[in-house]
């Protein structure tokens, strides 16, 4: 159970770091993360934004990270 606790603490630290990075980027002036594939519709009194490209990118990155962590976990169990 100690390994799970350490992993959760590490993930929490990483999330705090990413949150601080986003806050710092917003203060610098980077506010929009629109990637190709994101859907944005703007009309009079109506704004719709669906981050499809961003969602796909986050999914790929998280899949790679979790696959790597699973590989490390099985390698260490031997």
Q: What is the pLDDT of residues 25-63, one digit of tens each?
A: 778 876 666 778 888 889 999 989 888 888 898 899 999
Contact 26, 19 (CB under 8 A): no
In a shared domain, residues 45 and 25: no
In this prediction, residue 4 carries a pLDDT of: 81
Residue 70's pLDDT band (cuts 50, 70, 90): confident
Looking at the fold, whether 55 and 78 belong to one and the same domain comes out as: yes
41 and 78 part of one domain: yes
Q: Where residue 78 falls among pLDDT bands split at 50, 70, 90?
A: low
Cα(18)–Cα(59) distance, integer angstroms: 16
How many structural domains comprise the chain? Answer: 2
Query: Do both 60 and 41 map to the same domain?
Result: yes
3-state class of 35 per DSSP?
coil
Task: Determine the longest span between alpha carbons in the chain, in angstroms.
Answer: 61
Q: What is the per-residue pLDDT for 77? A: 64
Task: Report in angstroms the alpha-carbon separations of 56 from 9, 19, 32, 45.
Answer: 26, 20, 17, 29
Domain residues for 4?
Answer: 1-31
44 and 22 belong to one structural domain: no
pLDDT, position 44: 92
Q: How many CA atoms lie within 13 A of 29 on its CB side?
A: 0
């Amino acid at each position: 159970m100690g390994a799970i606790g350490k992993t959760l603490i590490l993930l929490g630290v990483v999330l705090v770091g990413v949150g601080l990075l986003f806050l710092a980027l917003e203060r610098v002036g980077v506010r929009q993360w629109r990637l190709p594939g994101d859907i944005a519709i703007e009309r009079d009194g109506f704004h719709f934004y669906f981050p499809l490209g961003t969602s796909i990118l986050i999914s790929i990155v998280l899949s790679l990270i979790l696959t790597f962590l699973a590989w490390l976990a099985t390698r260490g169990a031997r």
